[in-house]
Amino acid sequence: KDTHNKSEENKSNQIIINELQKLADGYRARNDKWRNFAYIKAIASLKSYPKCINNINELKSLPNITPKIIDKISEIMEDGYLSKVQDIYDEKTKTLEMFSKIWGAGPVTVQLWYQKGLRTLDDLNEKGNLTFQQKIGLKYYNEIQELIPRSEVKEIIDMVSKTALEVKPSLRIMPCGSYRRGKQTCGDIDILLIAKDSNNYDSILPKIIHKLKLDGFLIEDLVGTANSSSCFKYFGLCKLNRENSKVRRLDIFIVSEETSACSILHYTGSALFNRAMRLHASKMNMHLSDTTLMLLPQNKVLSTPTEEAIFEYLGLKFRPAEDREI
């Protein structure tokens, strides 16, 4: 009989997850992709584990929980923390981690900054030789790190929808990303626009961006501008027009109706779920991308009018968006 109360349950599992997350972040900062990925997968597995972890043996059958990770979890359960976390967060790793949180800064750039002797965000500002995107990332460093409450994501979706439909009333608006997966807080807002007519649909997005800029809603462009004649994706920063509103990261994508199901699936994620789906597709001699599902080796494009059709071709039971954390 389960006598645990929900908050206690979440607390002990959360301690384990938080500690493993610190290791994952440390390895990411060090550009140790393999270890980073192993921990990310293990964390996803633990997050979807529905019970309070009190016996290590019940975890051994979970996916991506390797013997090494079992050892780590045991250590956290015994001591409350991982000694490895202290080891990994040396000065260099801490600095690399801080730098890597700048939007547009990849692992190579971050390493180069460190090698040049740069150690603080002020150093980067003065001597980092930043791209225009990294400058924006640095300017809004703290704000865009903050998670966005679901209610605000909804307001931003409504704002973009309203303008998009003014530009092109026949568009279908599909909020994707963590919001569609039902998360209570999101890292950014991902909105997919679906054009019924596949002719010249790439000219619609610049017009929407233009209008949103005039409204003062879009404040910085990272990828895509209102000035281009053709645009399929826009990454930028936005801010709702009300008191105490914060700067938020917004992604808008536009696709045609024909490819929409694969695009909805892709932009809904999670990223780990997408990796698993693609790997599964390749085992079934198919290739899944953000636009199509193809049968190999002929590269025959399969007809996928809905997400359900994609799952069916892959021989998988349909999973609603809320059930795609991994």
Cite the active site residues. 72
Question: x/- contact string, 159-178, with Mg ion (CB under 5 A)?
Answer: ------------------x-
Cis peptide before 169 (omega within 30 of 0): no
Q: Does 236 bind Mg ion (CB under 5 A)?
A: no
> Which of 64-72, 95-103, 160-168, 180-188 is the region at the interface with ligand DCP (rule: CB under 6 A)?
180-188
Out of 19, 221, 251, 307, point to the residue binding Mn ion (CB under 5 A).
251
Residue whose CB is nearest to Mn ion in the complex, by number: 251
Contacts 24+ apart (CB under 8 A), 210-217: 211/163, 211/166, 211/167, 212/159, 212/160, 212/163, 212/238, 215/163, 215/241, 216/241, 217/159, 217/163, 217/241
Query: Around Cβ 2, how many Cβ atoms within 10 Å?
Result: 7
Indicate which single residue of 26, 128, 137, 269 sits in contact with ligand DCP (rule: CB under 6 A).
Answer: 269
Contact characters 184-213, Mn ion, x per CB under 5 A: ----x-x-----------------------
Contacts of 132 (CB under 8 A, 6+ apart): none
Lay out the site mask for Mg ion across 187-216 (x = CB under 5 A, - = otherwise).
-x-x--------------------------
Torsion of CA 113, 116, 120, 124, to 10 degrees: -60
Q: Restricting to residues 249-268, which ones interact with ligand DCP according to CB under 6 A?
A: 266-267
CB of 24 to Mn ion, least distance (A): 19
Q: Which CB, 24 or 189, lies closer to Mn ion?
A: 189
Q: How far is the CB of 155 from Mn ion (least distance, A)?
A: 17
Contact, 21 vs 84, CB < 8 A?
A: no
Task: Burial-class residue 236 by CB neighbours within 10 Å (0-12, 13-18, 19+).
Answer: buried
Smaller CB separation from Mg ion, 223 or 316? 223
The residue number whose beta carbon is nearest to Mg ion equals 177
Fill in the amino acid letter for 247.
V
Q: Are 261 and 306 in contact (CB under 8 A)?
A: yes
Distance CA 56, CA 7 (A): 20
Kindly indicate which of the ranges 30-38, 86-94, 120-128, 182-190 contains the residues binding ligand DCP, using the contact rule CB under 6 A: 182-190
Binding site for ligand DCP (CB under 6 A): 177-178, 186-188, 190, 266-267, 269-271, 274
